[in-house]
Amino acid sequence: MVSMKRFLFLGLSAAAILSAADLSGVRNVYVLRMSKGLDQYLANHLTNGHVFQVVTDPKLADTILTDQIGEGFQAKLDELSPPEVEKPAEPENPATPPKTATPAPPAAPAATPAAPAPADKQTKSPKPESNLPLEAQALLGDTVNKLASPANNSNFGRAKGIVFLVDAKSRLVIWSSYDPPKDSTSKELDRAASDVVNRIKRDLKKK
């Protein structure tokens, strides 16, 4: 039992040292939009505390601060910084065969214009027919619109209170924190952002 506890303690210490080493290489961070505007409070504390340089251009960032990871996060990164695609090597130009004169094709005879259809046989656009009253049609159309346009949930895929620091090149999570705000007031959001930044400072001192 004692040896198991000692092994666990050494493992946690090694993880803390590794996390601090990763944080020591962070210079410029880009803060993605977060739920309840938490990104603004984090950017404020990171800047005032001189922890990292907050950049507004994701191409200048070496790390990304986000409150969600997964397919949506990957798509957002591809949108902000599209991955470089290697161009295939162009094949060598083969020897050009000698050109031979091709006789011109004979001219096609002029097409005879078709006679216009009689006025009584011209097609008429069918009129829309509906046996439903106007009130029923309006109610049905409103129901279809509601089903076709589901509500947009901005918090989908997010776990409230978790913040991830992701390496921009390798896209590996190098640091994370869990400190959910108690409510959505500005005072509580500022408190949560301050706690996150203070934890980053503590982890940086462990290097």
The model's confidence at residue 18, banded by pLDDT at 50, 70 and 90, is very low
Average pLDDT over residues 192-204: 96
pTM for this model (two decimals): 0.57
Looking at residue 122, what DSSP letter applies?
A: S
> Is the pLDDT assigned to residue 152 strictly greater than 80?
no
For residues 54 and 6, what is the distance between their CA atoms, to the nearest angstrom? 39
What residues pair up with 53 in beta bridges, in sequence order?
Answer: 28
Q: CA dist 199 to 23, 98, 152, 177, 196, Å?
A: 12, 75, 33, 8, 5
* DSSP one-letter string for 56-117: S-GGG-SEEEES--SHHHHHHHHHHSPPP-PPPPPPPPPPPPPP---PPPPPPPPPPPPPPP
Ordered by start, the domain boundaries in the chain are: 2-82+157-205
pLDDT at residue 183 in the model: 94
Pairing outcome for strands 162-167 and 63-66: antiparallel
How much of the chain is helix, strand and coil, in % rounded to 5? 45, 10, 45
| Residue at token pair 């997010």 | 158
Record: fold of 2-82+157-205: Rossmann fold (3.40.50)
Among 104-108, 133-137, 174-178, which stretch is predicted with the lowest mean pLDDT?
A: 133-137
Q: Token digits for 104?
A: 């011109």
> Is the pLDDT assigned to residue 110 strictly greater than 80?
no
Mean pLDDT of the chain: 75
> Is the pLDDT assigned to residue 44 strictly greater than 70?
yes
For residues 17 and 135, what is the distance between their CA atoms, to the nearest angstrom? 69
